Homo-oligomer: A and B are copies of this chain.
Amino acid sequence: MRKKIEECNTGIAGLGLMGGAVARALREKCDVPQDRLFACDRDSKTLNTARQEGLICKGFDASGAGEMLALCDIVFLCLNPSAALRFLEQWKDSFKSGCLVTDVAGTKESIAAAAQKLCEYRKSDNIDFIPGHPMAGAEKSGFENSRLCNFSGKNYILTPISHNKTENTEFLKNIIRSMGFSRVTEVSPAEHDRKIAFTSQLCHVIAAALIDCESDVKITRFGGGSFEDLTRIAMLNAPMWTELFIENRISLFERIAQFEKSLDELKALIGGSEFAKLEEKLAIIRDRRMEMSAD
């Protein structure tokens, strides 16, 4: 039987936007005391700020990650996908026996494979790694903007691997709900990546393309909210989204192709002045979107 989260030492690897938001939620929503919360980050200023704000008791620089891991019963990897993979390879011997690890990366197949590998490598130490994805980002990045991530009412996806123990998954789900998320969905890593290619990556590619094709920054004088809503996420974390787009490109390209097909169908109706057919199609689309809101 695991201790309660507030009795565990918890470590956060990477104190950026999401790492900072997780730290805040653990402190403010899960009642984790400051002296139970640790973080490692390459930026010592961020670590100092987090300590001064009462979030963490001790910060470790990149080379001190092993020292932090030796203390922690729970570890949140809050790194870009490639950095998370490198971290796991570099520090695989440093995780504490019985440690529960999770991550927040926006693509899951490669991290799930690495999680499975770590669990097998450290099987005798009873280490468990449950890959996850909190669906609660923000347009800005970095620890200094971590208050912008609002977890309340948001979705959290877990992509358990065969190694995961039910008690650990239940334990993590309780933490997630305590942090404020309203729905925890479990799917396979592959299913996650296919779904997210649509709801997240396709949307970011579209927003980016919309901004790319208009160089007049004063165009917003002709905006009524639609353009602003569709392009807010174009204020993206460029290195992270570069990784997410390229890593999940097979699923993403399938989704782009589906989107282009739908766009072509609408173009055909508009170009052909097909008033009745276009109105019928738009009514179906409106009803479907309203049904989505109700779910």
Q: Which residues of A contact B (CB under 8 A)?
A: 134-137, 154-155, 157, 183, 185, 192, 195-196, 198-200, 202-215, 217-227, 229-236, 238-239, 241-243, 245-246, 249, 252-253, 255-256, 258-263, 265-267, 270-271, 273, 275, 278-283, 285-286, 288-293, 295
Q: Determine whether the beta carbon of B210 is less than 8 Å from that of A224.
A: no
Ranked 5 nearest A-B pairs via Cβ: A135-B224, A212-B262, A238-B282, A209-B262, A213-B262
Alpha-carbon distance A18/B196, docked complex (angstroms): 36
- Given contacts A212-B285, A256-B267, list 18 more A-B pairs with CB under 8 A: A195-B219, A203-B210, A203-B230, A206-B206, A208-B285, A209-B266, A213-B255, A213-B258, A213-B261, A215-B288, A217-B292, A218-B295, A235-B286, A235-B289, A242-B278, A243-B275, A245-B270, A253-B270
Q: Determine whether the beta carbon of B206 is less than 8 Å from that of A210.
A: yes
Q: Determine whether the beta carbon of B295 is less than 8 Å from that of A225.
A: no
Measured CB to CB, the nearest residue on chain B to A227 is: B199
> Which residue, A185, A192, A282, has most C-beta atoms of chain B within 10 A?
A282
Measured CB to CB, the nearest residue on chain B to A229 is: B229
Give the Cβ gap from A197 to chain B, nearest Cβ, in Å: 10
Give the Cβ gap from A293 to chain B, nearest Cβ, in Å: 8
Total identical chains: 2
Alpha-carbon distance A295/B134, docked complex (angstroms): 32
Alpha-carbon distance A222/B187, docked complex (angstroms): 10
Q: Determine whether the beta carbon of A281 is less than 8 Å from that of B199.
A: no
Q: Determine whether the beta carbon of B282 is less than 8 Å from that of A222.
A: no
CB-CB under 8 A from A227, the residues of chain B are 198-200, 203
Q: Determine whether the beta carbon of B209 is less than 8 Å from that of A259.
A: yes
A contacts with B: majority SS: helix
Give the Cβ gap from A141 to chain B, nearest Cβ, in Å: 9
CB-CB under 8 A from A285, the residues of chain B are 208, 211-212, 234, 236
Q: Determine whether the beta carbon of B223 is less than 8 Å from that of A233.
A: no
Give the Cβ gap from A146 to chain B, nearest Cβ, in Å: 16
CB-CB under 8 A from A210, the residues of chain B are 202-203, 206, 259, 262
Measured CB to CB, the nearest residue on chain B to A280 is: B238
Q: Determine whether the beta carbon of A233 is less than 8 Å from that of B226.
A: yes
Measured CB to CB, the nearest residue on chain B to A256 is: B267
* A286 touches which of B238, B271, B278 (Cβ 8 Å): B238
* A221 touches which of B220, B225, B295 (Cβ 8 Å): B295
Question: A252 and B270 in contact (CB under 8 A), knowing A199-B219, A217-B295?
Answer: yes
Alpha-carbon distance A264/B243, docked complex (angstroms): 18
